[in-house]
Structure 1
Amino acid sequence: MTSRINIGRPASTSYHSPDPHGFANSRPSTGYRAANPDHPLERIRAVAKQVEDTIEIYSQPLRPHLPTIGRFLIIVTFYEDALRIMTQWNDQLWYLQTHRHFYKGISHLFLLLNVLVSPHSKYTEYAVIGLLSVVIIQGFGYGLMFDLTFFLRNLSVIGGLIMVFSETVVNEKKSFAGIPSMSETDRKKYFLLAGRVLLIFLFLGFIFQGEWGMGRIFMSVFGLSACTMVAIGFKAKWSAIFLVILLSVFNVFANDWWSVHSAHPQRDFLKYDFFQTLSIIGGLILLVNIGPGGLSVDEKKKTY
């Protein structure tokens, strides 16, 4: 009886079979393949990763001080402006009354407000609002609001102030982490996006002014590439670091107000541009510290 029954067991026992149920696919996979390390693009990625890791290691001692450095550079232009108004009080009054046709009391009040609204308040939100009002009032008061270079440069300064406000939102979020607050999170994302976009307008002003040369072409091509990466939030931290280095070198050589005689009228313009560029550098440093935020390519790459 048992000789007629064919049990049909495989020759090899299932205890030693790598796939006892027959689910394995014997055909070679045509899906994802590992990247070839000898490919030029993979070599570039490996070198870039090593550079990023090296910078990350050596920048650790400086990282706790980045918020302080960034905030100081952002507000230093307002301190310089207040000091210039106080030391040139009569000249400022003469200009406002003669060329801008301010009444005597209005001109005094205008200058006084510019001096008193300084970033010394412990309430960061109100200090930022006050400084934003100073930027707008000065533009209209001195008749520079419709000057394209001035307008674009001040948009970048406003972007730096928004980065300060965004950092405050981040810190408050950390302080009250146990309390759910989606509105604060959304606000932080949109403020960071606005700050990133406004910071890059300085380069648009740089393109529209001056004569073209090899140096200007270099800065325009690489600077605009880095600005685009900052705006969309792709490798935003490293792009911001590149812009900090580029702007710092440019600021020292192009806005060298210390080399101009004190009686020369160009000295004040160079000093104004120098400290405003420092403010924009400060905004980029804050971007390096707190990151591009949720509305960025870098953040989406973490999700997907």
Structure 2
Amino acid sequence: MTTQNEFLSKAEDVADEVLRKTKHILPHLARFCLVSTFFEDGLRMWFQWNEQREYMDISWGCGWFLAALFVFVNLVGQLGGVAMVLLRLKVDIAVGVLFAIVLLQTVAYQILWDAQFLFRNLALIGALLLVLAETRVEGKSLFAGVPSLGENKQKTYLMLAGRILLVFMFLTLLRFEASPLQIIQIIIGSVLMVLVTIGYKTKLSSMLLVMWLMALNFYVNAWWSVPAYKPMRDFLKYDFFQTLSVVGGLLMLISIGPGGVSMDEHKKEW
């Protein structure tokens, strides 16, 4: 037991050291990864304008105008929201726009009936909530040195919801097969997911999940290895950037911590 505690303590020290050395670039990297899927999908709307419009027209029989309007809203909403988040301009509005885009696509592409895509969109919403939480600072109090409880409470619950929703991404990556490698992945992934959800040793478990998720992403979603004329390239690219956005959510957790409703926070009171 002592050896295990020493190992965890050393691992946490390494995580803290990494955080200290990257604290100036980590928030920017987290935001960039978070909005990457919206940036990629916005560009997709631009370069595949006719294909996307025809797909919507055929799927819903909504006519040329409404199909074109759908593509236009996705293009402008996503690229505009990305720019605002990266430049930190009206982030609340930008997150609201991107959240609306996620809901719009969930309905338009009938994602509600596909568990894998639905779970990934829920994880994406969790990542957006963490962007919103980062902008919530403690307001000024009537008394010097005393924080405003309202703003802090809002940030706390945003971070709790963000942590819980991020877990849905990992549920889509688990493959319940009998091979020893898959069993090990399920065990390790499940343990780390639980730790992130309850906010226990959050920085360390988030770092480990980032490494695990990035390795899986580059291995499973290697879209650059598929010829441009094959439809599979677009599917893999979509999955790659959605996963990268969830990585951004985990980096945000590393940067700003798990929030007040977490075991890490309550340990300070024990």
Scaled by the length of structure 2, what TM-score is found? 0.91
Of 229, 247, 255, the match for 1:289: 255
Give 3-state SS (helix, strand or coil) of 1:61's partner: helix
Cα offset for 1:145? 2.4
Structure 1 residues 266 and 72: CA distance shift in structure 2, 3 A: same
Structure 1 residues 59 and 189: CA distance shift in structure 2, 3 A: closer
Structural mapping, 1:141-156, within 5 Å: 141-156=108-123
Letter in 2 for 1:51: A
1:205 counterpart residue number: 172
Q: Please give the per-residue CA displacement for 1:52-104, whole angstroms capped at 9, x wherever unaligned.
A: 22342344221221110000001011010011111111111111111232221
Structural mapping, 1:264-303, within 5 Å: 264-303=230-269
2:11 counterpart residue number: 51
Q: Please give the per-residue CA displacement for 1:200-253, whole angstroms capped at 9, x wherever unaligned.
A: 01122223x686644332222111110111111111111111100000000000
Percent identity (aligned): 37
Instruction: Please say if residues 77 and 279 of structure 1, whose CA atoms lie closer than 8 Å, have aligned partners that are also in contact.
Output: yes
Structural mapping, 1:1-304, within 5 Å: 41-118=1-78, 119-121=82-84, 122-169=89-136, 172-173=137-138, 176=140, 178=144, 180-207=147-174, 213-304=179-270
Structure 1 residues 212 and 250: CA distance shift in structure 2, 3 A: farther
Q: Please give the per-residue CA displacement for 1:34-56, whole angstroms capped at 9, x wherever unaligned.
A: xxxxxxx1122123212322342
Structure 1: distance between partners of 2:35 and 2:192: 24
Give 3-state SS (helix, strand or coil) of 1:303's partner: coil
Q: Give the total of aligned pairs.
A: 260
Structure 1 residues 288 and 185: CA distance shift in structure 2, 3 A: same
Unaligned runs of 5+ in 2: none
Give 3-state SS (helix, strand or coil) of 2:62's partner: coil
Q: Over aligned residue pairs, what C-alpha RMSD do you find?
A: 1.7
Unaligned runs of 5+ in 1: 1-40
Cα offset for 1:160? 0.5
Letter in 2 for 1:99: S
Q: Please give the per-residue CA displacement for 1:244-272, whole angstroms capped at 9, x wherever unaligned.
A: 00000000000000001111111100000
Instruction: Please say if residues 100 and 142 of structure 1, whose CA atoms lie closer than 8 Å, have aligned partners that are also in contact.
Output: no
Give 3-state SS (helix, strand or coil) of 2:111's partner: coil
Structure 2: distance between partners of 1:133 and 1:86: 19
Instruction: Please say if residues 207 and 250 of structure 2, whose CA atoms lie closer than 8 Å, have aligned partners that are also in contact.
Output: yes
Q: Please give the per-residue CA displacement for 1:147-198, whole angstroms capped at 9, x wherever unaligned.
A: 10000011111110000001111xx32x747574211111111111000000
Q: Which has the higher helix share?
A: 2
Give 3-state SS (helix, strand or coil) of 1:145's partner: helix
